[in-house]
Structure 1
Amino acid sequence: MSSRDELIDKYAQEIQKKCGESPDRDLLGRVVAGLGPAVYNADASVVAASDPNEVESIKKNFLVKKLGLTDGPDLDAALDKVFDQYGRSNRHKYRAVIYYLLTRHFGRDAAYP
C-alpha cells in the first residue's frame, strides 16, 4: 500500500469517526491528490481553525479560487459548520478532511475531476 493510500485510509477513518459520515473514497482520493506534497508535510497537512489568517487563506485560496465560490457570509458559515462537525477541540484537523467536507458541503465535487 502506498503512503498516499495510507493517508486516504487515515482521513477516511477521521471522517467516519469524528464527523459521522461515510466518506466518498474516490472524492477523498482526488482531494488528497489535489493537495500534492502538502499532505506529507506535518505543518501543512493540518489546519489551525483558531488562526484567523489560516481560515481566511482557506476561504480565499480554496473556496473562492479552487471551488469557484463567491466570497460572502455563507463561506464563513460553512467554515464554522465544518469546524464544528470535525470538532473544534480536535487540535489535529487534517487539511484534506476539511477540504473534503467543504467540497461536499457546497456540492462542488466536479472541482476534482
Structure 2
Amino acid sequence: MGKRDELIAKYADDLKNKCKVTPDMALLTKVTIGCGPSIYDRDASTVAASNKDEMERIKTNYLIKKLGLKDGPNLMAGIDAAIDTYGKSERTKYRAVFYYLLAKHFGKESAYK
C-alpha cells in the first residue's frame, strides 16, 4: 500500500468516525488526487477553519474555480456546514476530507468525473 492509499484510508476513517458519513471511496480518491502534493505536507494537508483568510481562499480557489459555483452567501454557509460536520472542536481537519464534504454538500461530485 502506497503513501497516498494510506492517506485515503485515514481520510475515510475521519469521514466515518468524526463526520459520521459513509464515504464514497471513488470520490474521496479523486478529491485526494485533486489536492496534489499538498496531502504530503503536514501544514498544507490540513485546513485552518478558524482562519478567515484561508476560508476565503477555499471559497475562491475551490468552490468558485474548481467546482464552478457562483459567488454568494451560500458558499460561506456551505463552508460553515462542512466545519460543523467535521466538528468545530476537531483541531485537525484534513483538506481532502474538507473538500470532499464541500463537493457533497453542493452536489458537485461531477467536478471529479
Aligned-pair distance for 1:28?
A: 0.2
Q: Percent identity?
A: 56
Q: Deviations over 1:47-86 (max 9, x none)?
A: 0000000000000000000000011110011111110110
The equivalent of 2:96 in structure 1 is: 96
Letter in 2 for 1:67: L
Indicate yes or no: 2:76 matched with 1:76: yes
What do you get for the CA RMSD once the two structures are aligned?
A: 0.5
Distance 2:90 2:9 in 1: 19
SS in 2 for 1:89: coil
Shift in Å, 1:110? 1.1
One-letter code aligned to 2:29: G
In 2: Cα distance, 1:14 partner to 1:8 partner: 10
**C-alpha separation in 2, matches of 1:80 and 1:22:** 20
TM-score (norm 2): 0.98
In structure 1, how many angstroms separate the alpha carbons of the residues matched to 2:91 and 2:52? Answer: 15
For structure 2, the 5+ residue unaligned runs are: none
Equivalent pairs counted in the alignment come to 113
Cα distance in 1 for partners of 2:34, 2:62 equals: 11
Letter in 1 for 2:91: R
Structure 1 stretches of at least 4 aligned residues deviating more than 4 Å after TM superposition: none
TM-score (norm 1): 0.98
